[in-house]
Structure 1
Amino acid sequence: MVRLIAFDLEGTLVKSVSGWVELHKRFGTWEKGKEYAELFFAGKIDYVKWAELDASLWKGHTREEIMEWADSVEYMDGAKELIEFLRENDFRIAILSSGLMCLAGRIAKELGVDYVYANELVFENGVVTGKVNPIVDFRSKGTILRELKAELEPELTVAVGDGFNDLSMFKEADVSIAINPHEGVEGDHNVESLHEVMEIVRGLIGERGQ
């Protein structure tokens, strides 16, 4: 018996809102980064191009500088307890983030998450090359979750997130949970904390007589 739960990362499991924005502000590149964001949301460039343009602004910065930021990001209240509860109840756990692997990889390792998908900055000799491997764009979370479902054949699939790019994985899940959702984003359940997520999942397990 396998169950599957997929989490967005930033704003869901951790307190960072956007690693892209936070690194821009840390490195003094936000003005240009804001221009690129406006181009994307106006439909003038695609997500891959947007990620490449952003990463190009950080060329020459070191992995240590990036990880200094990633290591500073704090968990949302209840995150560790929730993951422990899920592992005790036969869930395979995935993180699907359109943020950066430097943060997602750290969180996945610390929490013992089974699968992690995020965008990878390309480093050479410990230095940002300005290139990026855009694994998760604004539409592909649903595709990734669908592939995981095909591989695992879970009896229950849950998705938890807060933003528009989480809606595609909401559609693939049996139950979707929106946590402090952005305006216009709704799940089957809308909650304010990870403690509420745990109670909803506990109820789902009970409904299935497990």
Structure 2
Amino acid sequence: MTRLHLFDMDGTLLYGSAAAIEISRQLGLEREIAELEGAFLAGGMTPPEFAVQACELWGELREEQVAAAFANAPWLAGIREVWAEIRARGERCAVISLSPSFFVERLLDWGVDEACGSRWPSVPFREPVDPAGILDVAAKVRIADELCERFGLTRADCVAYGDSMSDVALFAALPVSVAVNADHHVRDSATHAYTGRDLREAYELVGDPR
């Protein structure tokens, strides 16, 4: 049996953090991004509106700062090992995140099959944010369906790993889900729940279907 494992990034692969927080830390803008994220989580802005304001906030961002943010971020242990095992078993894995693709796609070097994020302008920013390229919660399900079609699979073959409200729709659409360090939005509805800092332990909860 072939399966597709779909991973959220912020709060899931990243322990207690998010790409926006790690990027802002490199720029000394922790307070500013906390205020922006607070407004977003409170429902005060849409994902495209958040992206526009964050892009303005990060006007001085350079590629070396993105690299440092990625390298110093609090990743769960065992990510590379889990993805290597998934692929060794002939299965597939992907990351779907609302965060900027220029951060998410760095995970391709760690062995994930697909890394899907919001399409932001290239760093350093010279173009405005295109709202059409910014993902929302519903986009996670759409991308999952597109990946299933590409890999010759169905939703019944998928496992979702996530932590918060942005994963609710995907958890509802798929038969197996793992809440990783999750809040109540997904923890209570997930097939499995994991608290800790090692993705290998979360992955073991799914088991081998063969």
Asked which structure has the greater CA Rg, the reply is 1
Name the TM-score, length of structure 1 as normaliser: 0.82
Q: 1:71 aligns to what SS in structure 2? A: helix
Q: Does 2:136 align with 1:137?
A: yes
- Give CA deviations for 1:89-113 in whole Å, capped at 9, x if unaligned: 22111101122323321112222x2
The residue number in structure 2 matching 1:196 is 201
The residue number in structure 2 matching 1:127 is 124
Call closer, same or farther: CA 1:74–1:43 in 2, change over 3 Å.
closer
Q: CA deviation at 1:6?
A: 0.3
Mapped to 2, the partners of 1:37 and 1:75 lie a distance apart of 20
1:59–1:130 CA contact under 8 A, matched in 2: no
How many corresponding residue pairs? 202
Call closer, same or farther: CA 1:34–1:185 in 2, change over 3 Å.
same
The residue number in structure 2 matching 1:77 is 77
The residue number in structure 1 matching 2:161 is 160
Mapped to 2, the partners of 1:197 and 1:116 lie a distance apart of 20
Q: 2:203 aligns to what SS in structure 1? A: helix
Mapped to 2, the partners of 1:102 and 1:66 lie a distance apart of 8
Percent identity over the alignment is 25
Call closer, same or farther: CA 1:194–1:62 in 2, change over 3 Å.
closer
Question: Where does structure 2 lack aligned partners over 5 or more consecutive residues?
Answer: none
Call closer, same or farther: CA 1:15–1:150 in 2, change over 3 Å.
same
Query: How large is the RMSD of aligned CA atoms in angstroms?
Result: 2.4
- Partner AA of 1:197 in structure 2: A
- Partner AA of 1:121 in structure 2: W
Q: CA deviation at 1:172?
A: 2.1
- Which structure shows the bigger proportion of residues in helix conformation? 2
- Which structure shows the bigger proportion of residues in strand conformation? 1
Question: Where does structure 1 lack aligned partners over 5 or more consecutive residues?
Answer: none
The residue number in structure 1 matching 2:41 is 41
